[in-house]
Chain A
């Protein structure tokens, strides 16, 4: 319990900054929506003139961004990127920082098992990503609702945020497992972010080229895409299962490898 509280405290400041970040993202996004929708020129017409690849890279894809929910679907991908980057870095650093800051000779000589330490740290990271998710959820709910002109947005926001939370968890354990496996765990955070960007690029590539659609299993960004969960019938069972299995497996990897590894002292 003491480690858990200590970790919550030491990540408090960074969580506040990330929360402000996502809040500003939602604010500026919806502000832009307002100015676009009030400018008179129908946005869809404007977009039709753009090449499909351009739309895919921008994440616009098939969204009808003249509606608040459609626009939110576009905004969601950026919120998702922020939240998952936060989760990946948090998962990696919360494990790796004892070695990075050379405090392992303090913590790991205390009468706690390594499993106990990992459990406390992952629990603290879990609380952090949950709070960031709630902040994103509430900001979205309030601000999208404000511009939606009576459109019902709550349901859409709930499903996208649920999807985002699963991906946050997934990237958190990708980060933590990398930090647990790598002996030079200092590099785990940058590596985890690298994995994240790579999988994101793959997801964009799939949007550009339908022939490689089979790769969608390799990139979590394809698991709960806004266009599918909002407009295409909710979560796909395969992806929920796949995420669950990956999260469980990587959690186990985190525990097992960290327990067996020599600490870098």
Chain B
């Protein structure tokens, strides 16, 4: 069953911003990554799903119900963490969380305490006094306290230190094991890779591809940089799958896609002084998809 189904969703506003003709679906029980650079349309898509803004054309369903028509009903089972958290300043953390809980017709007090403990959050502080990271923690607890079936996270890790990030990911995995579906938007590939089963890549308001992470990894380039004692023959790495080969004095660099062992054997045969193998960054994956389209 699809928890989220987006069909030809278009939202234009202002000049060029917005999203156009977006379609993808998120299956029940999945952790689905939604990845793209800043301004690509991730937040616009999410805000349309939540009926904060309305689609120009196209539609989306959550739990099989139209997101505009049944907005209040489906929101009972959605937990949302916005990319920037802003709360009513004049409240204590405890009061804000209780206010949040008061919208759901169940007792959330036990869950609030549990989550606050996991995230190491002081419930008696005033929200004004909190640091950015701590505000984010309030957001996390606030998004999860009613044990939603669908968790939507928009750039959730910004402001969290690595330790908290780790705890947060464990928390999400736990929620996922209990049956929650998660839509995880980010511009950081590594965290998406760590957590998600599938991803949709968005650029400039359009979906470039929807892939399993495993497939995406197989299909992506690795960046190689080889430093040798003497200048290398440019043809030495002339293999299938090698791209953008550059030889600059003692430094040879290229992108490679395919069976990594072939390259490693080639490298083992020469005398090297240093070696870098890097995962391509997000931008390079986009380049890859854009080249393919062109």
Contacts and interface: CB of A to CB of B under 8 A. Distances in A.
A101 B50 contact: no
B87 A103 contact: yes
A41 interface: no
The bracket for how many chain B residues form the interface is 20 to 34
A104 B88 contact: no
B12 to A, nearest CB: 11
Interface string A75-109: 00000000000000000000000000111111011
B87 A106 contact: yes
B52 interface: yes
Contacts of A154: none
Given A106-B142, A112-B72, A265 B47 contact: yes
Interface of chain A, main secondary structure: loop
A109 B153 CA distance: 13
Contacts of B89: 101
Interface stretch (B77-85, B253-261, B265-273): B77-85
A111 B100 CA distance: 10
A95 B198 CA distance: 40
B73 to A, nearest CB: 7
Contacts of A101: 86, 88-89
Given A101-B86, A102-B84, A103-B88, A108 B50 contact: yes
Name which of B51, B89, B142 has the most chain A CB atoms within 10 A of its CB.
Answer: B51
B102 A2 contact: yes
Contacts of A112: 72, 103
Interface in B51-106: 51-54, 71-73, 75-76, 78, 80, 82, 84, 86-90, 99-100, 102-104
21 contacts: A2-B103, A6-B99, A10-B88, A103-B86, A103-B87, A103-B88, A106-B82, A106-B142, A108-B50, A108-B51, A109-B52, A109-B80, A110-B75, A110-B103, A111-B73, A111-B75, A111-B103, A113-B71, A113-B72, A263-B47, A263-B53
Interface of B: 13, 47, 50-54, 71-73, 75-76, 78, 80, 82, 84, 86-90, 99-100, 102-104, 142
